[in-house]
Amino acid sequence: MPKNRELATRVWKEKIPEKRMNNMHRFLVKICEEAGPREAGSEAEHKAADITKEEFEKYCDKVEKEEFQLAPKGFLSFTFLSPLFVLIGIPIYWFYPVVSAVLAILAMLIFYMQFLRYTQFVDFLFPKKTSVNVIGEINPKKEWKQTLMFSAHLDSAYQFNFNLYMPRTFNYFLIGLPILLVIYIILSVSYFISSWIFSVPSTVFIYTGIGIAAIIVPMAAMLFFFKTNWAVMGANDNLSGIAILQGIGETLGNSKNLIPNHTKILLVGFGSEEAGLRGSKFWVKRHKTELEKKPFFFLNFDGIAKSDDIHVIHKEKTLRAKYNPNTVKLVVQSAKNVGIELPYRELPFGATDGSALIQGGFSNGASLEAMDIDKPEVKRWYHTINDTADVVEPEALELARKLAIEFITLVENKK
């Protein structure tokens, strides 16, 4: 029986009939076959960037690659560092409870800064690699007055073992462990104050500590197995988005009348999204000054799998990113114009590259998604070996392309 790491390199679980395929899906498969799983900063990610650049050059007036440095292992390092500090601190509780509390606080701080704020709080501890963004430009037919960017990310994620093996309880775990740690910290500080400062008998704290430690220790230890050290294929997340960029470029290249008069179109494949939005953050920082000179709009694609579940993300909870409601409405109107009912949805956890754009000062956009990661059946292929080419419906890619082309028209007429 193949091991999971071997299964991560498969392109298909069950091949889609050729008659259902379109050029976007074929391009997705091409990257799967020629690049494979694409860890941030890896040769495979660079290979995917080269394939994308070559494709963009067929349709764009200008195509560039921009490299940047990052520590790929840093972003999710809380899955190792946080439980490590907790487990070191647990035995100390009965001798120096305040030290145990400090270690638990440090564990939660690392989790908060790395995963809930997407900072590079502990990235300096890990080796650096080079990642890459690919940027294609399609010039307007007349004077350039504004910019519209379509984006997606090139890299793929490490496998989230919890998604594969415990999809129904994953969310409870992520909520339950931090709550238990907060209780544990309060208990430790109370133990220190009552027993070590005021010399109050500590029997209750000793036995309560045993009880809560019996729950926290196995839960914290499980975090060591949260993810793998190898990447999955990521056909849906997010070669589906890259495929849509190909489709937009192909459509504009073959139908020059669809190129707007005054709106420059950017097609951007970001690197290292799965490593903490590093590519999009780098891109915004590098291009912010020039982007601010003219109105800037964007539509980000991330996980376009199912044609009956396409929705627009108007808010991303983890990074508290809120898109401009007027632009979101424009995306919804674009969908309606091409026969798609596009519901609003908040992203419950994690973040897309759209969050990095908002943090950089650009809110005139939205992210498009076509999967519901709250569903256990979706979790079984989201960030797992099951994210193969057959997960992505060619029909979903086609709907997203139609929406994007209509969005170009509405943005052009908005100026």
- The string of DSSP codes covering 297-326 is EEEEEEEE--TT--EEEEEETTTTEE--HH
For 354-412, where are the E strands, in sequence order?
365-370
CA pair distance 382, 313, nearest whole angstrom: 17
pLDDT tier for residue 171 given thresholds of 50, 70 and 90: confident
Task: Report the percentage of the chain scoring pLDDT > 90.
Answer: 91
Rounded CA separation 288/362 (Å)? 9
Contact status, residue 270 vs residue 353, Cβ threshold 8 Å: yes
The residues that bridge with 299 in the sheet, in sequence order, are 150, 366
Which sequence spans correspond to the domains of the chain? 4-73+128-157+232-414, 76-119+166-225
In the chain, % of residues over pLDDT 70: 99
Q: Cα separations (Å) of 376 from 162, 167, 312, 372, 381?
A: 11, 5, 21, 9, 9
Superfamily of domain 4-73+128-157+232-414 in the CATH hierarchy: Zn peptidases (3.40.630.10)
What are 90-119's pLDDT values in tens digits?
A: 999 999 999 999 999 999 999 999 999 999
Rounded to 5, what percent of the chain is helix, strand, coil?
50, 15, 30
Model confidence at 349: pLDDT above 90:
no
Tokens of 63: 């195509």
CA 265 to chain centre: 23
Average pLDDT rounded to a whole number, residues 372-385: 92
Is the model's pLDDT at 415 over the cut of 70? Answer: no
Listed in sequence order, the residues at least 6 apart from 383 whose beta carbon sits closer than 8 Å to its beta carbon are 157, 158, 159, 160, 163, 232, 237
Q: Which of 330, 307, 299, 270 is nearest to 394 (CA)?
A: 307
pLDDT, residue 168, reads 86
Q: Is the pLDDT of residue 65 over 80?
A: yes
| DSSP 8-state symbol, 277 | S
The pLDDT value given to residue 266? 98
Q: What is the mean pLDDT of residues 247-274?
A: 98
Amino acid at 363: S
Of 30, 33, 49, the residue nearest 41 (C-alpha) = 49
Q: Is 173 helix (H, G, I), strand (E, B) or coil?
A: helix
Alpha helices, DSSP H, located in 123-227: 161-165, 170-191, 203-222
| Reported confidence tier of residue 358, pLDDT bands at 50, 70, 90 | very high
- Residue 236 is classified by DSSP as I
Q: Is the dihedral of CA 60, 62, 63, 69 positive or negative?
A: negative
pLDDT, average across residues 389-412 = 98
Q: Which pLDDT score is estimated for 197?
A: 74
Mean pLDDT of 276-302: 96
Q: Residue 1 has what pLDDT?
A: 45
DSSP string, 46-114: HHHHHHHHHHHTTT-SEEEEEEEEE-TTTGGGHHHHHHHHHHHHHHHTTT-HHHHHHHHHHHHHHHIII
The tens digit of pLDDT for each residue in 300-346 reads: 999 999 999 999 999 999 999 999 999 999 999 999 999 999 999 99
Confidence category of residue 201, pLDDT binned at 50, 70, 90? low
- DSSP code, position 16: P
Name residue 406's amino acid.
E
**Averaged pLDDT, 274-291:** 96
Peptide bond into 254 cis (omega under 30): no
